[in-house]
Homo-oligomer: A and B are copies of this chain.
Amino acid sequence: MSPQNTLAISTDVVLFSIRNDRLEVLLAALDNGGWRLPGGGMAADEDLESSALQHLEQQTGVTGVYLEQLYTFGRPGRHPTQRLVSVAYYALAPDEQLRLRERQADGLDWFAITRLPPLALDHADIIAMAHKRLAAKLAYTTIALQFMPERFTLSALQSVYETILGAALDKRNFRKRVLAMGCLEATSELDRHGNHRPARLYRARTPGKVEFIK
């Protein structure tokens, strides 16, 4: 078989998080100064989703993320030396969880979605599609909760929405809407920090699950 006829399947992961009030993506450095998505070849006896999670963990130390299949990219010629079909996933996780688990920090970095570095292959397209999907899902699912830690304030949640949508939201209307979805639960705890009134902490009723609304 010539290299071009060598068929390989890889899985790639677009890991999003909210950092510094921006939507950011985790990338791995290449030798040539460029960057790529975490991911790699799929082993023969491995599930696609496991492959994505395993590469993510091995390359970044990140585990326990919310993962969803995005799209499969297979245009011939997208890889210079072999026929490579990539099953792309996107992953969401709260910033807090990631600070703990990024072990191999060198060779890794976060980039704001608006300021991406040069990327390998068609990884820029993959990120663009993932971003579009995320923004769309925000409108009709509870996916934003995947960015939140176990307990969080409504103000923090609002800030996540505002960051992804790139627009300010009305506080009263936001609270009405998000509570009306019925997937939040007030705890008895308060978040005390700073010189101001403490905020009630909420938690997701079904933390792992993304639900459709209305």
Listed in ascending order, the chain A residues whose CB lies under 8 Å from chain B are 4-5, 7-9, 42, 44-48, 69, 71-72, 74-76, 83, 85, 87, 140
In the complex, the count of this chain's copies comes to 2
Residues of chain B within 8 A of A75, CB atoms compared: 47-48
8 Å CB contact of A69 from B5, B44, B71, B83 = B71
Selected from B4, B9, B140, the residue in CB contact (under 8 A) with A9 is: B9
Q: How far is B7's CA from A186's CA once the two chains are assembled, in angstroms?
A: 50
Residue of B nearest to A72 (CB): B72
Q: Does A47 lie within 8 Å of B72, measured CB to CB?
A: no
In Å, the complex CA distance between A92 and B114 comes to 36
Minimum distance in angstroms from A121 CB to a CB of chain B: 15
| Contact A83 to B44, CB < 8 A, known contacts A69-B72, A72-B69 | yes
* A145 vs B46: C-alpha distance when bound (angstroms): 40
A7 and B83 within 8 A (CB): no
Tell me which residues across on chain B come within 8 A of A140, comparing CB atoms: 140
Residues of chain B within 8 A (CB-CB) of A87 are 72, 74, 85
Contact B45 A4 (CB under 8 A): yes
Give A25 to B167 CA distance when docked, in angstroms. 43
In order of increasing CB-CB distance, the 8 nearest A-B pairs are A48-B74, A5-B44, A72-B72, A72-B87, A44-B83, A45-B76, A47-B75, A9-B85
